[in-house]
Structure 1
């Protein structure tokens, strides 16, 4: 797969193992900042403009992400005697490596809650595509399947930026109490 922007060196994947890291990405504004930085490095001013939020608010959230190893300064430039910092992601993809009970409470991070909120308007407009399927499989099979899904997410994130619409892509695998047929005799 070819490297697309953001135009600086970064890891393909980083495992989030600390509760503070999981909590850092659990905030919707910080998640949006990370998504914006998929395209290229940006200053706090550029991020504040894109997010239509005060620079001080954005600077706080950028600082939280940087302190937790999710963002880094990738270059600087002088602007009227002030050094302006460009922030970039430290990895294309972040994933939670530990069991959620070992990292943070379930309310701190839920991609599906974010996806549900973001997709409501698309649903109303008839522009939401989705599937849900259930399969009784082993934990090892679920893990192998998840690795394949992570590759697909990586492919999605590396697509060249074009078009007028930003699309969300949500994927997950989770244990459920979905009913199952009894084993055959």
Structure 2
């Protein structure tokens, strides 16, 4: 499974930009689902789910990862071909790119909210009210920074390398492990929402 897949055709962009498909993709990026499972999870008729699965599969955004026979019926398990998606610069002139990206992000935010609601109690506990982040069971940051586009891109590469390192660490250790959900979002804005901190005189 790829870490990132580039959306390279207009048809792929249309396929992944549909609001329902974007919501389905949040689940299919996490693991394999049948059409029936997605239908029950999203409370949407199975026929409608299967139609959208076929559109995503036709555009090589998802794939069948396994098949199981149950009561004489072959169940197909679908999964995203990548953990995340980016859009080719060649598609940028299309005005739909902006709305498609926003729709994907909206779905990601909704999915993250559901994960917060269903997380175990200990996920958000602080040990002894410690101010040391190492003693917290979670990470939470909201901040605004100034950087050039080149600096932002350089930092983004470091971030993804760090996430790859974290994923490999979990595979290598034999210690008891917890499951951690990460949702990160960074984007350009027009102005500061937080009051800008004044730099201290050196």
TM-score, structure 1 normalization: 0.66
Task: Provide the C-alpha distance between the structure 2 equivalents of 1:92 and 1:147, rounded to a whole number of angstroms.
Answer: 16
Distance 1:23 1:108, change over 3 A: same
Question: Would you say 1:134 and 2:135 are equivalent positions?
Answer: no
Unaligned runs of 5+ in 2: 117-123, 125-139, 172-176, 193-202
> Aligned-residue CA RMSD in angstroms?
3.7
Q: Which residue of 2 aligns with 1:97?
A: 88
1:173: Cα distance to partner? 2.9
Please give the residue correspondences for 1:110-149 in structure 2 after superposition, counting only pairs within 5 Å.
Answer: 110=102, 111-114=104-107, 129-137=140-148, 139-149=149-159
Aligned residues: 163
More helix by share: 2
Question: Would you say 1:107 and 2:75 are equivalent positions?
Answer: no
Larger radius of gyration: 2
1:79: Cα distance to partner? 3.2
Task: Provide the C-alpha distance between the structure 2 equivalents of 1:114 and 1:93, rounded to a whole number of angstroms.
Answer: 13
1:72: Cα distance to partner? 0.5
Task: Provide the C-alpha distance between the structure 2 equivalents of 1:173 and 1:155, rounded to a whole number of angstroms.
Answer: 23
Please give the residue correspondences for 1:6-85 in structure 2 after superposition, counting only pairs within 5 Å.
Answer: 10-85=1-76
TM-score, structure 2 normalization: 0.61
Q: Which has the higher contact order (CA 8 A, sep 6+)?
A: 1
Unaligned runs of 5+ in 1: 1-9, 180-185
